[in-house]
Amino acid sequence: MQYHFIGNEAHRSTSGQHIPVIDPSDGQVFDQIQRGTADDIAAAVDSSRHCYETVWSKLSAAERGRLLMRLSNKIAEHTEELALIEQRDCGKPTKQARADALALVRYFEYYAGACDKLHGETLPYLDGYSVLTWREAHGVTGHIIPWNYPMQIFGRSVGGALAAGNVCVVKPSEDACLSLLRVAELARSVGFPAGAINIVTGFGHEVGDALARHPGIDHISFTGSPTVGTIIQQVAAQRHCPVTLELGGKSPQIIFADADLDAALPMVINAIVQNAGQTCSAGSRLLVEHSIYDALLARLGESFSNLRVGPAAMDLDVGPLIRASQQQRVWDFLSDAQVANIAMVAQGQIVDEAPETGFYQAPTLLRDVPVHHRLAQEEVFGPVLASMSFRNEDEAVELANATKFGLVAGVWTRDGARQLRMARRVKSGQVFINNYGAGGGVELPFGGVKSSGYGREKGFEALYGFTTLKTVAIKH
Ligand code: NAD
């Protein structure tokens, strides 16, 4: 049985109810979490406020940095344990789960070093004035986290907020929160004061909603679906609470005929099968210059056919989807493809060892997906790649920009001038040229445009979002 983590203590929910924790690899219940309530959120916010007023805001930036660094080191000692927890909770193959735990180490390392480097400015102004700007913490920040990368999203969101001088009330996904409850214990063990990190588990429409509505929350960092992002934005608007929204994507991989295909194809595959396609930045649309379209799809199809899907602990190319309803969602998209006569080029194989009760989906490559079909417009959040061809650069740009999203784009070409033109013309928060994701570095600001959200997380840029600027003008 798992409990909320409030004030450095395990905290039973006032609901007296639990939510089962299911292993996606076999569909079996293996643990229980608390079904939180608005009262639990209120207790967490009170505890965090007290921490902020009495301890956290009194620490020097260097002291905060040392605490974050101690947490990074402690997590580093526990990466294998955390990876195993996340593997069971989310169905992540071992390599992915380990990469996520190591990313968490790096997030806290990076933000530890950033604490004492966040500063304001002095501004030239009228004679007789001195004008300063200060970056001040919001205070108590709320963090609503999805299930696809709990540790990574906690690292970038909570790490940045703490570094900027805030304390955090965290609402992880009801589908994946075990690793974060353990990280909170590790934070306590290295000396984090009670209330600096509080975690309340439960359903989004109950605790997530209560968190977004609570007047004691000074800033909300939301990562999740566009639908819930809209709700959060509306709720926060009632009290003018600032929000950062990291939402979905339908990101294009754009391949020109002069691209280095040996470099591109493994990344095209990885970008759609990593985490079973349940990645906000999944490269889920493949746009290929028509002269190489057929040959490229033949090559890619062969690779797709060789992809193996199975239980997380087998550490194959692809693990299970998070839950039965997600599997059903992917099936619905694929049956729509059939109805629309969209051709399937290839599918990977689900291994015999995969239990029938697990939530498996073979990676699927589709061709000539019409640009307005929902497979080319909506986030599937599964390992399904929708491909289409283009005749020239203008058409590539038009197709790339033809969705409501704007999170990531990959552009593959050897032509330097075209690289820059494409980077300018494609509407998205990130453009990766001859790579995809740039290794996911914490140093690189990350966020969307259009319905992919606004505000930036990661990098130093995130710290600006986790602070508010105060202008101080002194007349001498
Ligand atoms: P989701 O929107 O269903 O849930 C996200 C979080 O919001 C969960 O903790 C959930 O409990 C909570 N929630 C649900 N309803 C709520 C409500 N009414 N009020 C407050 N909180 C509520 O998303 P998900 O299915 O967990 O995650 C997948 C989505 O997240 C995808 O759309 C994906 O693209 C997106 N995502 C975006 C990024 C990014 O950086 N842009 C990263 C990861 C995931």
The domain limits of the chain are 4-248+452-475, 252-433
**What percent of the chain clears pLDDT 90, i.e. is strictly above it?**
99
Annotation says 395 is catalytic: no
439 pLDDT band (50/70/90 cuts)? confident
Contact 223 CB / ligand 1 (< 6 Å): yes
**CA 247 to ligand 1 centroid distance, Å:** 7
Q: How far apart are the first and last CA of the chain?
A: 62
DSSP string, 104-170: HHHHHHHHHHHGGG----EE--STTEEEEEEEEE-SEEEEE--SSSHHHHHHHHHHHHHHTT-EEEE
What are the backbone angles phi and psi of residue 373, rounded to the nearest 5°? -65, 150
Model confidence pLDDT, tens digit, residues 23-39: 999 999 999 999 999 99
pLDDT in tens, 453-465: 999 999 999 999 9
Which CATH fold would you assign to the domain 4-248+452-475?
Aldehyde Dehydrogenase; Chain A, domain 1 (3.40.605)
* Predicted pLDDT of residue 348: 98
The CATH class, in words, for 252-433 is alpha beta
**Which residues make Cβ contacts (< 8 Å) with residue 16, sequence separation at least 6?**
none
DSSP tag of 282: -
What is the reported pLDDT for 231? Answer: 98
Tens of pLDDT, residues 363-374: 999 999 999 999
Bridge partners (DSSP) listed for residue 366: 344, 386
- Read off the pLDDT of residues 216-257 as tens digits, 9 standing for 90 and up: 999 999 999 999 999 999 999 999 999 999 999 999 999 999
* Residue 174 CA, closest ligand 1 atom number: 11
Instruction: Tell me what the pLDDT averaged over the chain comes to.
Output: 98
Quote the ligand 1 centre to 225 CA distance (angstroms): 4
Residue located nearest, by CA, to atom 10 of ligand 1: 204
